[in-house]
Chain A
Amino acid sequence: MVLETELLPFREWLLWGPFVWLLVMGSLAVAGLFFGSLVAVIRHGPAAGLAATGRVLAAAVGDLFCMSPRRVWALAWLAVKDSLRRRVVVVFIVFLLLLLFAGWFLDPSSDHPLRLYISFVLTATSYLVLLLMLFLSALSLPNDLKNKTLHTVVTKPVRPSEIVLGRMLGFVVLGTTLLALMSAISYVFVVRGLAHSHEVVQASLAAVDPRQDADQGAVPLRGESTRVNGHRHDVRIDRKGQGLLEMTQDHYHRVARRQDGEKTVYEVGQPEGMLVARVPVYGKLRFMDSQRHVAERGTNVGDEWAYRSYIQGGSLAAGVWSFEGVTPTAFSDNLQLEMTLGVFRTYKGDIEQGVAGVLLLRNPKTGLTVEAKVFKSREFSTDVHRLPRKITPTAAYALQPEKDPDGRIKYVRKPLGADAKAQYDLFDDLTDDGQLEVWLQCLDPEQYFGVAQPDLYLRARDASFALNFVKGYFGIWMQMVLVIGFGVMFSTFLTGPVAMLATVGMLIGGFFRGYMIELALGQTWGGGPVESLIRILTQDNVVSDLPEGIRTTVAQTVDSVLQRGLWVVAQLLPSFGDYDCASYVAYGFNVPGNWIAERGLTALGFAVALFVVGYFFLKTREVAR
């Protein structure tokens, strides 16, 4: 699975996440205060205007901090009741219909059926729920204002903050219920949809060793299974009659032989290895060049997508992952190492054959290095290597860092001498305080392995797939909270359709947030808006500097002001796609705890901000017209 941005550890994130939130909220408060006072001064004159601003601020303290849970809950209940009246149930029925007819367009012979099923249910749910919530949240308050039903509410001792929070809470409660129901149904749909079994085609069974007779029994057999759901498996059965329908479409089946009178029956189990939530332990990746000097990156093979960096084959170049927490308690008795390598071939070679590589394990403290496994790469799929606790290496030596005369660090191979053993213990010899280095080298000259940090990981004990599935829905839940927050906030001062458009606008803007930040930080070619405009008009290229002079100075000064504004605007937009964790679930990876915590807190930060902004808009508007 591709992870282009590295997820920060939660503690590290806590150092700056809340700080950015406070900074943005502070800027927003200052801007709000300034524009609010300005409007009040224009309307009522300086003294009365400032007094009015003061009154609003004083009231805000009470309104925001002395809300009554009972009233908020009553208003939330009203929002739920109102939504139910609007036939929210229809959405649920549409969802059920979609699942009912999903069989028509979900291809069971897909290479990765789980990905297909998961992305289908998550996409269907998110489109339905998000659209529904967009309509409900943006139209609800304006409708109440239009029908004047809000008049009988605000003339009770209800604070504007309670109205805004009540609405948000009501929709969140409704959406959560809807999502919970949908996730339960989807789970059953996915599990049942992928459940299948095969039969072993007995005529196909033959002894692995052609010199043995398959009919004699008690010999290892190979053959194939029947075709179900568009695929068949290779079958391997050991001499005891136990075996596997081997990995195809991301799953395998266990098979067992038994005698039923005269007949030999092969019992095939349900698919395994598909509904998983792998817990990858990622390491820090660094590179060695062809002379085993420490390098910043690997070789650049000219790929525009700079995600992967390449390791030159037939040289000492290596990618080195440093892991922590590699202990017997975390990994039981063996180490499962999984990797997805990109392969760059400078010559075609035998395209059926993978490119050869070697995995080295190194103790970062002692420098002891063993060649754990030589392998052939499998492109476009996850390569699984189980390393036993006791490793008998093809070679063992020490790799020690030394400084070159030119100051560069180089790892030098040294013999072990008397320390050499025939067998090494993974945890006792090769790790130090849970630290382990995995070195990956490409053996075929002129071929390259492309690697990125998340491409190679150690697989710890799997997490629960059901729980991971729920986490996938939690991602949609967070997106829903954002939609509701924006919808309700905009609806406090805009009419329904305009509030809806504004919400959609914010979400679309959120998709471009990354680019906006790049623009704001001046990381794009061609300069800021004014400079770019000059380049367009003068048909100047984006790379060369503009000629020095007053025109350029003015343009760049204006740009720097605009860029600061752009930065603030970008911070106000939610990076909507970041809350989507469907790919984790679909690719069978556990959604990490820090992902949940960081995204959850960010969404909460947005919700709080939107609530406060919504409150001020409702407080300062006239309910009647």
Chain B
Amino acid sequence: MIYMDHSATTPVDKRVLDFMLPYFGEKYGNASSLHSLGQEAKKAIEEARVKVAKVIHADPSEIYFTSGGTESNNFAIKGVSFADKDKGKHIITTKIEHDCVLNTCKWLEKRGFEVTYLDVDKHGLIDIGDLESSLREDTILVSITHANNEIGTVQDMEEIGKTVKESNAYLHTDAVQSVTKLPVDVKKMRLDMLSISSHKIFGPKGVGCLHIRKGVKLDPLAHGGGHEGGLRSGTENVSGIVGFGEAMKIGEEERPKAMPRLQKLRDKIMDNVLKIDNTWLNGHPQKRLPINANFSFKFIEGESLVLLLDAKGIEASTGSACSSKSLKPSHVLLAIGLKPEEAHGSLRLTLGKDNTEKDADYLLEVLPEVVSELRKMSPFKKDYGEFE
């Protein structure tokens, strides 16, 4: 099997797994316990906090462990909104955010907050001037994803940071897709908050963190025994946290070698897939995650494409409505200007460290055949025809 869906999830790195295993059966202490077993767990959590902080150039005290990206994004957005609701009720985000950001914003809109959803251009980039003119006195938060999970477009976070710093608003970024793939520096980007998920970086599922800059006040989502500085109560997921810390360390250490290799492989895939007729690239040609390629193939539908690729041993994903629970095509592809019928025929390939040259060659052999097979079945060959 060739796995090319690393933006969905990744396998746990063997070294990470080995690092975690003692924390299930032997070192199972509750970090709040006074005895040595508890203190051993506490120490392990603090070591993981140091590892995570180092990668993003933060202070360990600014790292708050959570259950992952969705919780971190909810925590950042709701946490600031509730803490700062007397300062203002305006939030700025973009039209291409992950559902966990968009649906949190929609939920807040029902509770009296006002949200501006910034447009993006055909490559998925926001316009800094747009952001600037959307900032108001009562804007309390700007939340913009660093690298988009579907089309891989990378926003200029330093520019965004500079712009937001001129205002009263806090800046949050979802860095779930970019950490360990791109340099991420909370100081250079002037971030107040940043979300990370462990299972996207060869760590275990169910763990992640929110970075909260010192001095930024958030209301907690979960109240209880006062864990994580009183901001995220609940007994810590010790094995998960230590695995996450180790995955961050390994990912960042390997980044300088791994990413150029994967980018080269991705470029080879991009160059060759784009030779298929009626096919184009979604997202920015250069400002994109080194592991991401996203294509649209006209006249076919993405779920069929993904299932036929799966039958040939290649795991990928699509922004087609037919593969989603909502039966709506990807809001990201629509936001960059694709027509619904074009959004249905999309394919996302996201590489990871296990992918080889041989995998890319096999994909390039199989994909054109599968596309052609589906197009032969399709009533459309040159255009979408006319419909009553």
Partners in one complex: no
- Taking Cβ atoms with an 8 Å cutoff, the residues of B that contact A are none
